[in-house]
Amino acid sequence: MFIKSLSTLLLSAAGAFAATGQLVQVTNFGPNPTNVGMFVYRPARLANPLPLIMAIHYCSGTAQAYFQGTQYANLADTHGFMVIYPNAPDSGGCWDVHTQATLTHDAGGDSLGIVSQRSYDDERSDGRYPDVFKAGSAFSGVPFGCFAGPDMWNSQCSTGQLIMTPEQWGDLVRNAYPGFNGTRPKFQFWHGTADTTLYPQNFWEDIKQWTNVFGVSQTPTSNITNNPLPGYSRASFGPNVQAILAQGVGHTVPEQANDVLNWFGISDVTPGSGSPTTSAPSSPSTSAPSTTSAPGGAAAHWGE
């Protein structure tokens, strides 16, 4: 769902990767019409309740590359959460974020396989997508539904020329699961101003979409500059929408895994029982980097 360039991957991979355990493939989980692969990282010591992060690789990536190129597994050793790395069935390593199946609740597609993975191992619920995840974080993506169409790639969207009103963008999310009236996962998205793969206009369209979905103003309630890094700004629109813009950064916005954990509310979780953070019982999902369409796509779908 996201598309990050290969160079990104190499860049990330150059960081210290020190997870102590192995990535294990799981083949038996629920409905999986498109044959999404499933790889699990389960640290030796688990927190209780057990948070779960779905770490969804960028377009042109793999579960293995994302495992090695990000810090989620290392951090799982420290905090005791579990990480699932879905693997895109498409030969090009992209997610099917252009299909109505994936963009619609319970209609199939890669998103259904991913949701099935979410509940394979535990006591948790079935697959009502909006209930499935607590939070999402997307790197360098596009709004939910922006890539919709016959082809895997949508140039109108990628180049930032698909402009819609907040209401129109919000309708795409609402129509993915008509009648849903539960709590939607809060959503954070990151984008570089020099992104020439998925143009930064998509960041502004994302703001329109998610402020509309959550029914909040498009004017940030706060905008902290040089946060979390020099040249970045973190704009919040109430508690559920956060838009981080990285000045001069291209399509590869290096993933700030600790920052993502903080957004998910699991920074203070530690292995063993009685973890301090009780707000993380369920599973925050990271849709992390995504590219294509997906960030918004994946999160929107799940989030409803």
Q: Which residues have a catalytic role annotated?
A: 125
The reply to whether 179 sits near ligand NAG by the rule CB under 6 A is yes
Q: Is 29 in the site for ligand NAG (CB under 6 A)?
A: no
- Which of the ranges 27-35, 131-139, 174-182, 251-259 carries the binding residues for ligand NAG, by CB under 6 A? 174-182
Nearest residue to ligand NAG, by Cβ distance, number only? 235
The residues facing 55 across adjacent strands are 286
| Residue 99-118 contact track with ligand NAG, rule CB under 6 A, x = bound | --------------------
Instruction: State the nearest-atom distance from the C-beta of 54 to ligand NAG, in Å.
Output: 22
Task: Report in angstroms how near the CB of residue 203 gets to ligand NAG at its nearest.
Answer: 8
Upper half-sphere CA count for residue 300 (Cβ side, 13 Å)? 36
Taking the C-alpha atoms of residue 57 and residue 281, their distance in angstroms, rounded to an integer, is 23
Coil, strand, or helix at residue 222? Answer: strand
Cα end-to-end distance, the chain, whole Å: 16
Element (H, E) at 189: strand 186-192
Tokens of 205: 């369209």
Task: Report which secondary-structure segment, H or E, holds 111.
Answer: helix 109-118
Q: What are phi and psi of 224, to 5 degrees?
A: -95, 120
CA distances from residue 277 to 31, 181, 184, 217 in whole angstroms, order as listed: 31, 26, 20, 29
Per-residue x/- track, 198-227, ligand NAG (CB under 6 A): ----------------------x--x-x--
Does position 40 bind ligand NAG by CB under 6 A? no
**Residue of the chain from 27, 28, 91, 181 that contacts ligand NAG (CB under 6 A):** 181
Cα distance between residue 225 and residue 43, in whole Å: 35
* Torsion sign across C-alpha atoms 93, 140, 200, 150: positive
Taking CB under 6 A as the rule, does residue 235 contact ligand NAG? Answer: yes
Closest distance between ligand NAG and the C-beta of residue 218, in Å? Answer: 9
Of 144-152, 179-187, 273-281, 285-293, which segment contacts ligand NAG by CB under 6 A? 179-187
Radius of gyration of the chain (CA): 17
User: Closest separation between CB of residue 244 and ligand NAG, Å?
Assistant: 9
Contact flag: residue 243 with ligand NAG (CB under 6 A): yes
Q: Does position 230 bind ligand NAG by CB under 6 A?
A: no
Instruction: Give the type of residue at 74.
Output: N
50 contributes a contact to ligand NAG by CB under 6 A: no
CB of 252 to ligand NAG, least distance (A): 19
Of 112 and 241, CB closest to ligand NAG: 241
Residues contacting residue 28 through CB under 8 Å, at least 6 positions apart: 120
> Which residue number, 71 or 104, has a Cβ lying nearer to ligand NAG?
104
Q: Is 83 one of the binding residues for ligand NAG (CB under 6 A)?
A: no
DSSP 121-147: TSS-----HHHH-SEEEEES---TTTT
Residue from 180, 228, 229, 270 touching ligand NAG (CB under 6 A): that is 180
d(CA 15, CA 278): 31
List interacting residues with ligand NAG (CB under 6 A).
Answer: 179-181, 220, 223, 225, 233, 235, 243, 245
